[in-house]
Protein backbone atom coordinates (compact mmCIF):
# COMPACT_ATOMS: atom_id res chain seq x y z
CA UNK A 1 0.00 0.00 0.00
CA UNK A 2 1.37 3.39 -0.98
CA UNK A 3 1.96 6.07 1.65
CA UNK A 4 -0.84 8.16 0.15
CA UNK A 5 -3.34 5.28 0.40
CA UNK A 6 -2.17 4.58 3.94
CA UNK A 7 -2.71 8.21 4.97
CA UNK A 8 -6.15 8.12 3.38
CA UNK A 9 -7.05 4.93 5.25
CA UNK A 10 -5.83 6.36 8.57
CA UNK A 11 -7.72 9.61 7.95
CA UNK A 12 -10.89 7.68 7.15
CA UNK A 13 -10.49 5.59 10.30
CA UNK A 14 -10.14 8.66 12.51
CA UNK A 15 -13.08 10.32 10.79
CA UNK A 16 -15.23 7.24 11.40
CA UNK A 17 -14.22 7.18 15.07
CA UNK A 18 -14.96 10.88 15.41
CA UNK A 19 -18.41 10.27 13.98
CA UNK A 20 -18.91 7.42 16.46
CA UNK A 21 -17.99 9.63 19.41
CA UNK A 22 -20.27 12.36 18.09
CA UNK A 23 -23.12 9.86 17.79
CA UNK A 24 -22.67 9.00 21.48
CA UNK A 25 -23.65 12.57 22.38
CA UNK A 26 -27.05 12.32 20.63
CA UNK A 27 -26.60 15.60 18.69
CA UNK A 28 -30.28 16.04 17.80
CA UNK A 29 -31.33 15.76 21.45
CA UNK A 30 -28.51 18.04 22.59
CA UNK A 31 -29.45 20.63 19.97
CA UNK A 32 -32.92 20.98 21.53
CA UNK A 33 -31.36 21.17 25.00
CA UNK A 34 -29.00 23.92 23.88
CA UNK A 35 -31.80 25.77 22.10
CA UNK A 36 -33.98 25.95 25.23
CA UNK A 37 -30.97 26.87 27.37
CA UNK A 38 -30.09 29.76 25.06
CA UNK A 39 -33.72 30.90 25.13
CA UNK A 40 -33.49 30.88 28.92
CA UNK A 41 -30.41 33.09 28.74
CA UNK A 42 -31.97 35.56 26.32
CA UNK A 43 -35.21 35.79 28.31
CA UNK A 44 -33.35 36.45 31.55
CA UNK A 45 -32.34 39.97 30.56
CA UNK A 46 -33.97 42.85 28.67
CA UNK A 47 -30.65 43.61 27.00
CA UNK A 48 -27.96 41.54 25.35
CA UNK A 49 -26.33 38.59 27.08
CA UNK A 50 -22.58 39.19 27.59
CA UNK A 51 -20.76 37.24 24.88
CA UNK A 52 -18.51 35.42 27.35
CA UNK A 53 -21.49 34.08 29.25
CA UNK A 54 -23.42 33.27 26.08
CA UNK A 55 -20.63 31.25 24.49
CA UNK A 56 -19.23 29.65 27.65
CA UNK A 57 -22.65 28.68 29.01
CA UNK A 58 -23.81 27.32 25.65
CA UNK A 59 -20.63 25.28 25.20
CA UNK A 60 -20.56 24.08 28.80
CA UNK A 61 -24.20 22.98 28.86
CA UNK A 62 -23.83 21.28 25.46
CA UNK A 63 -20.71 19.38 26.54
CA UNK A 64 -22.21 18.16 29.81
CA UNK A 65 -25.42 17.17 28.01
CA UNK A 66 -23.35 15.24 25.49
CA UNK A 67 -21.48 13.49 28.28
CA UNK A 68 -24.76 12.51 29.94
CA UNK A 69 -25.99 11.12 26.62
CA UNK A 70 -22.81 9.08 26.28
CA UNK A 71 -23.30 7.55 29.74
CA UNK A 72 -26.91 6.82 28.79
CA UNK A 73 -25.67 4.98 25.67
CA UNK A 74 -23.19 3.01 27.79
CA UNK A 75 -25.74 1.91 30.38
CA UNK A 76 -28.38 1.07 27.77
CA UNK A 77 -26.19 -0.57 25.12
CA UNK A 78 -27.87 -3.97 25.56
CA UNK A 79 -31.31 -2.38 25.33
CA UNK A 80 -30.21 -0.36 22.30
CA UNK A 81 -29.02 -3.53 20.58
CA UNK A 82 -32.53 -5.04 20.85
CA UNK A 83 -34.36 -2.04 19.47
CA UNK A 84 -34.43 -1.16 15.79
CA UNK A 85 -34.55 2.55 16.59
CA UNK A 86 -31.23 2.45 18.46
CA UNK A 87 -29.36 -0.61 17.15
CA UNK A 88 -27.25 1.62 14.89
CA UNK A 89 -25.57 3.37 17.83
CA UNK A 90 -21.77 2.93 18.21
CA UNK A 91 -21.73 0.68 21.29
CA UNK A 92 -24.18 -1.97 20.04
CA UNK A 93 -22.26 -2.04 16.74
CA UNK A 94 -18.94 -2.51 18.55
CA UNK A 95 -17.44 0.69 17.15
CA UNK A 96 -16.41 1.92 20.62
CA UNK A 97 -15.58 0.21 23.89
CA UNK A 98 -17.03 0.87 27.34
CA UNK A 99 -13.69 2.27 28.52
CA UNK A 100 -13.47 4.66 25.58
CA UNK A 101 -17.01 5.84 26.31
CA UNK A 102 -16.28 6.47 30.01
CA UNK A 103 -13.06 8.35 29.25
CA UNK A 104 -14.78 10.40 26.54
CA UNK A 105 -17.76 11.26 28.77
CA UNK A 106 -15.46 12.18 31.66
CA UNK A 107 -13.28 14.42 29.51
CA UNK A 108 -16.14 16.15 27.72
CA UNK A 109 -18.32 16.54 30.80
CA UNK A 110 -15.41 17.66 32.97
CA UNK A 111 -14.38 20.32 30.47
CA UNK A 112 -17.97 21.52 30.22
CA UNK A 113 -18.23 21.91 34.00
CA UNK A 114 -14.88 23.72 34.06
CA UNK A 115 -16.12 26.21 31.47
CA UNK A 116 -19.24 26.88 33.53
CA UNK A 117 -17.35 27.28 36.80
CA UNK A 118 -14.63 29.57 35.42
CA UNK A 119 -16.47 31.64 32.82
CA UNK A 120 -20.12 31.65 33.96
CA UNK A 121 -20.86 31.06 37.65
CA UNK A 122 -20.77 28.27 40.21
CA UNK A 123 -24.55 28.05 40.54
CA UNK A 124 -24.89 27.15 36.87
CA UNK A 125 -22.08 24.63 37.20
CA UNK A 126 -23.68 22.89 40.19
CA UNK A 127 -27.15 22.91 38.61
CA UNK A 128 -25.69 21.44 35.41
CA UNK A 129 -23.87 18.76 37.40
CA UNK A 130 -27.12 17.92 39.22
CA UNK A 131 -28.87 17.68 35.86
CA UNK A 132 -26.14 15.31 34.63
CA UNK A 133 -26.59 13.08 37.68
CA UNK A 134 -30.37 13.25 37.34
CA UNK A 135 -30.31 12.05 33.74
CA UNK A 136 -27.29 9.74 33.60
CA UNK A 137 -27.80 8.10 37.00
CA UNK A 138 -31.26 8.67 38.49
CA UNK A 139 -33.21 8.34 35.22
CA UNK A 140 -31.02 5.98 33.19
CA UNK A 141 -29.82 3.62 35.92
CA UNK A 142 -32.66 3.71 38.46
CA UNK A 143 -35.96 4.94 37.04
CA UNK A 144 -36.06 3.71 33.44
CA UNK A 145 -35.68 -0.02 34.18
CA UNK A 146 -37.86 0.04 37.31
CA UNK A 147 -40.99 2.14 36.80
CA UNK A 148 -43.38 3.10 33.98
CA UNK A 149 -43.35 6.59 35.49
CA UNK A 150 -39.70 6.94 34.48
CA UNK A 151 -40.50 9.67 31.96
CA UNK A 152 -42.61 11.68 34.41
CA UNK A 153 -40.06 11.65 37.26
CA UNK A 154 -36.99 11.70 35.05
CA UNK A 155 -38.48 14.53 33.03
CA UNK A 156 -37.18 16.95 35.67
CA UNK A 157 -33.66 16.58 34.26
CA UNK A 158 -34.83 17.21 30.71
CA UNK A 159 -36.70 20.32 31.83
CA UNK A 160 -33.62 21.98 33.37
CA UNK A 161 -31.89 23.61 30.34
CA UNK A 162 -33.82 26.93 30.40
CA UNK A 163 -33.22 27.11 34.15
CA UNK A 164 -29.50 26.62 33.52
CA UNK A 165 -29.58 29.39 30.93
CA UNK A 166 -31.43 31.71 33.28
CA UNK A 167 -28.99 31.02 36.12
CA UNK A 168 -26.04 31.62 33.80
CA UNK A 169 -27.16 35.21 33.19
CA UNK A 170 -28.73 36.18 36.50
CA UNK A 171 -26.87 34.00 39.01
CA UNK A 172 -30.18 32.86 40.46
CA UNK A 173 -33.32 30.86 39.62
CA UNK A 174 -36.36 33.09 39.25
CA UNK A 175 -40.08 32.37 38.96
CA UNK A 176 -39.95 32.84 35.21
CA UNK A 177 -37.25 30.18 34.90
CA UNK A 178 -39.40 27.76 36.88
CA UNK A 179 -42.29 28.38 34.48
CA UNK A 180 -40.06 27.42 31.57
CA UNK A 181 -39.10 24.32 33.55
CA UNK A 182 -42.77 23.49 34.12
CA UNK A 183 -43.61 23.74 30.42
CA UNK A 184 -40.91 21.25 29.41
CA UNK A 185 -41.72 19.03 32.40
CA UNK A 186 -45.36 18.81 31.28
CA UNK A 187 -44.31 18.35 27.63
CA UNK A 188 -42.04 15.36 28.29
CA UNK A 189 -44.62 12.61 29.07
CA UNK A 190 -46.90 13.07 26.02
CA UNK A 191 -43.81 13.53 23.83
CA UNK A 192 -42.18 10.24 24.86
CA UNK A 193 -45.40 8.25 25.31
CA UNK A 194 -46.36 9.01 21.71
CA UNK A 195 -43.06 7.41 20.74
CA UNK A 196 -43.60 4.50 23.11
CA UNK A 197 -47.04 3.82 21.63
CA UNK A 198 -45.73 2.99 18.18
CA UNK A 199 -42.61 1.32 19.60
CA UNK A 200 -44.41 -0.77 22.23
CA UNK A 201 -43.25 -4.13 20.90
CA UNK A 202 -39.64 -2.97 20.80
CA UNK A 203 -39.74 -1.71 24.39
CA UNK A 204 -41.38 -4.96 25.52
CA UNK A 205 -38.71 -7.00 23.72
CA UNK A 206 -35.98 -4.92 25.36
CA UNK A 207 -37.58 -5.32 28.80
CA UNK A 208 -38.15 -1.61 29.37
CA UNK A 209 -41.30 -0.97 31.47
CA UNK A 210 -42.66 1.92 29.43
CA UNK A 211 -46.28 2.83 30.15
CA UNK A 212 -47.90 1.10 27.13
CA UNK A 213 -45.97 -2.08 28.01
CA UNK A 214 -47.07 -2.17 31.66
CA UNK A 215 -50.52 -0.54 31.48
CA UNK A 216 -51.59 -1.05 27.87
CA UNK A 217 -52.09 1.30 24.96
CA UNK A 218 -55.59 2.45 25.93
CA UNK A 219 -54.40 3.74 29.28
CA UNK A 220 -51.36 5.37 27.68
CA UNK A 221 -53.52 7.11 25.08
CA UNK A 222 -55.61 8.60 27.88
CA UNK A 223 -52.47 9.78 29.67
CA UNK A 224 -51.18 11.41 26.49
CA UNK A 225 -54.43 13.36 26.25
CA UNK A 226 -54.46 14.37 29.92
CA UNK A 227 -50.85 15.50 29.96
CA UNK A 228 -51.35 17.44 26.73
CA UNK A 229 -54.17 19.34 28.43
CA UNK A 230 -51.89 20.00 31.42
CA UNK A 231 -49.22 21.20 29.02
CA UNK A 232 -51.69 23.56 27.35
CA UNK A 233 -52.51 25.12 30.72
CA UNK A 234 -48.83 25.39 31.67
CA UNK A 235 -48.00 27.05 28.35
CA UNK A 236 -50.39 29.92 29.15
CA UNK A 237 -48.73 30.78 32.48
CA UNK A 238 -46.01 33.06 31.02
CA UNK A 239 -48.81 35.33 29.81
CA UNK A 240 -50.71 35.04 33.10
CA UNK A 241 -47.69 36.27 35.10
CA UNK A 242 -46.94 38.95 32.46
CA UNK A 243 -43.70 37.36 31.43
CA UNK A 244 -44.97 37.56 27.84
CA UNK A 245 -47.56 39.42 25.78
CA UNK A 246 -50.28 38.84 23.23
CA UNK A 247 -48.00 37.51 20.52
CA UNK A 248 -46.83 34.64 22.69
CA UNK A 249 -50.37 33.99 23.94
CA UNK A 250 -51.68 33.67 20.39
CA UNK A 251 -48.83 31.32 19.45
CA UNK A 252 -49.30 29.20 22.59
CA UNK A 253 -53.03 28.82 21.94
CA UNK A 254 -52.58 27.97 18.26
CA UNK A 255 -49.75 25.52 18.83
CA UNK A 256 -51.51 24.00 21.83
CA UNK A 257 -54.80 23.45 20.02
CA UNK A 258 -53.00 21.57 17.26
CA UNK A 259 -51.27 19.41 19.88
CA UNK A 260 -54.56 18.76 21.65
CA UNK A 261 -56.03 17.80 18.29
CA UNK A 262 -53.35 15.16 17.87
CA UNK A 263 -53.91 13.88 21.41
CA UNK A 264 -57.69 13.64 20.94
CA UNK A 265 -57.25 11.74 17.69
CA UNK A 266 -54.77 9.36 19.32
CA UNK A 267 -57.29 8.70 22.09
CA UNK A 268 -60.32 8.29 19.80
CA UNK A 269 -58.88 6.60 16.71
CA UNK A 270 -55.33 5.45 17.32
CA UNK A 271 -52.87 4.42 14.63
CA UNK A 272 -49.10 4.07 14.67
CA UNK A 273 -48.88 6.61 11.87
CA UNK A 274 -50.81 9.13 13.93
CA UNK A 275 -48.64 8.53 17.03
CA UNK A 276 -45.53 9.00 14.90
CA UNK A 277 -46.89 12.28 13.54
CA UNK A 278 -47.76 13.41 17.06
CA UNK A 279 -44.24 12.62 18.27
CA UNK A 280 -42.72 14.65 15.45
CA UNK A 281 -45.12 17.54 16.00
CA UNK A 282 -44.24 17.63 19.71
CA UNK A 283 -40.67 18.60 18.79
CA UNK A 284 -41.92 21.30 16.43
CA UNK A 285 -44.34 22.46 19.13
CA UNK A 286 -41.70 22.96 21.82
CA UNK A 287 -39.27 24.68 19.46
CA UNK A 288 -41.95 27.02 18.10
CA UNK A 289 -43.32 27.77 21.57
CA UNK A 290 -39.94 28.85 22.91
CA UNK A 291 -39.19 30.78 19.72
CA UNK A 292 -42.47 32.65 20.20
CA UNK A 293 -41.45 33.47 23.77
CA UNK A 294 -38.19 34.90 22.49
CA UNK A 295 -39.77 36.98 19.70
CA UNK A 296 -42.40 38.31 22.11
CA UNK A 297 -39.68 39.17 24.63
CA UNK A 298 -37.64 41.27 22.22
CA UNK A 299 -40.65 42.97 20.68
CA UNK A 300 -41.63 44.08 24.18
CA UNK A 301 -38.36 45.96 24.44
Query: Per residue in 177-218, pLDDT tens?
Result: 999 999 999 999 999 999 999 999 988 888 889 999 999 999
pLDDT score at 127: 97
Note the pLDDT of residue 2.
Answer: 56
Give dist(CA 2, CA 8) in Å, integer. Answer: 10
Q: Give the containing element (helix H, strand E) for 277.
A: helix 272-299
Rounded to the nearest integer, the mean pLDDT of the chain is 91
Is the pLDDT at 10 greater than 70, yes or no? no
CB neighbour burial string for 81-120, b if at least 16 within 10 angstroms, e if fewer? eebeebeebbbbeebbeeebbeebbeebbeebbebbbebb
Q: Residue 124: pLDDT above 90?
A: yes
pTM listed for this prediction? 0.90
Amino acid sequence: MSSELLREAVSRTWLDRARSFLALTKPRVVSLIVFTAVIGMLLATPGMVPLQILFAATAGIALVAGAAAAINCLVEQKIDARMRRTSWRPLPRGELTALETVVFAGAVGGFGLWLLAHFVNELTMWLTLATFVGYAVVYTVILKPLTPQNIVIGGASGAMPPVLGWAAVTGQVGTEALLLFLIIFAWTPPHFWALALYRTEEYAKAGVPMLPVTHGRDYTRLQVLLYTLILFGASLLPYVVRMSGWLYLAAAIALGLVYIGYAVRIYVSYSDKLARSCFRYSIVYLSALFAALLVDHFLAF
